[in-house]
Every structure is written in C-alpha cells, then in structure tokens.
Amino acid sequence: MTAHVLLIEDEPNIAEAIRFILTRDGCRVSTHGGGVDAVAAVHAARPDLLILDLMLPGVSGLDILATLRADPATEALPVLMLTAKGQDRDREAAERAGASRFMSKPFSNAEIIASVRDLVAR
C-alpha cells in the first residue's frame, strides 16, 4: 500500500524537494502551505503521516499539533516535526505537544526518507 504523506511547509522549495524524494521513495505526497486552514487540510487529506514545520507564517506548528492531538480522529497520527537546528526549547515544546519525531533543518534527504519509512511502518 502506498503511504500518503501530507507535508505542511511554507517554504515552496523545501516542500518541492521533500515531495520529490518521498515520491521517488514510493509515497504519495500532498503539500499544504500552512496557515489557519492547516488542521482542516489534515482532516480532508487523512494522511498516514504528517510532516509539519514548526515555524509557519501566522500560525505555530505547535498549535496545529496540539489541535490534532486533542481530536480523536488525529490523536494517533504520526507527526514528523521539522525544527531549526539547535532550538532545544522548540524541540522540548514540540515533544510536550506530542510530536512523534523531529527533524532538524538543514536535514539530509536520507534522514527524511529513513524517518518517514520508520514512522509509516509503525
């Protein structure tokens, strides 16, 4: 079965690169630019895995994650959180909010693929 990955990332070039490598790895990837309708996009897409950027314009990835975790439909959804390197406080906050795993920017493509495979297999 092809895993469906939803990517919420406001940087179009990063989103494009991630989409390319995950698609080549056999995933079906949809993207969303973030913003207030991000949660609705998750509900509509019903992905197997969510890749969520922590720093989104106008809305925090943490808030999106907290909303998802509070909803029975998405409370168990695997979420890979993209954080900035060295921002330990962000990481701790994301951990508390219920992120399944973290990926620090700048990440390597191999790391992303390995994490996605691992989270989808669970």
Partner 1 sequence: MPMTGLTGSRLRERRLALGLRQADLARAAGVSASYLNLIEHNRRRIGADVLARLAEALGIGAEALSEGAGGALRDDLRAAAAEAEAGAGAAGPELDKTEDFAGRFPGWAGLLAAQHRRLGQLERAVNALNDRMTHDPHLSQALHEVLSAVSSVRSTAAILAETEDIDPVWRARFHGNLHQDSERLAVGAEALVAYLDGSEQAEEQGIAAPQEEVEAWLAVRGWQADLAAAGDLASAAARSMAGAWAERAAAEAAAMPEAAFRAAWGAGGDAAAVARQFGVGVLAVLRRAATLPGSVAGLVICDASGTLLFRKPAEGFALPRFGAACPLWPLYTALGRPGSPVRALVETEGRMPRSYLVQAFCEVEFPQGFAGPELRHAAMLIAPQDGMAAGMAGGMTGGVTGGMTGGAVPVGSTCRICARGACAARREPSILSEGV
The yes or no reply on residue 13 touching partner 1 (CB under 8 A) is yes
The residue type of 67 is T
Contact 108, 41 (CB under 8 A): no
Residues 16-55: x/- map of binding to partner 1 (CB under 8 A)? xxx-xx--x------------------------------x
Q: What's the closest the beta carbon of residue 73 comes to partner 1, in angstroms?
A: 30
Of 1, 58, 72, 85, the one binding partner 1 by CB under 8 A: 85
Taking the complex as a whole, the smallest distance from the CB of residue 65 to partner 1 amounts, in Å, to 19
Specify the stretch interacting with partner 1 by CB under 8 A; choose among 15-23, 28-36, 37-45, 62-70. 15-23
| Residue (68 or 80) nearer to partner 1, CB | 80
Q: Under 8 Å CB-to-CB from 120, ≥6 apart: which residues?
A: 3, 5, 27, 48, 49, 78
Considering the rule CB under 8 A, would residue 14 count as an interface residue with partner 1? yes
Token digits of residue 97: 């909010």
CA 65 to chain centre: 9
Contacts of 72 (CB under 8 A, 6+ apart): none
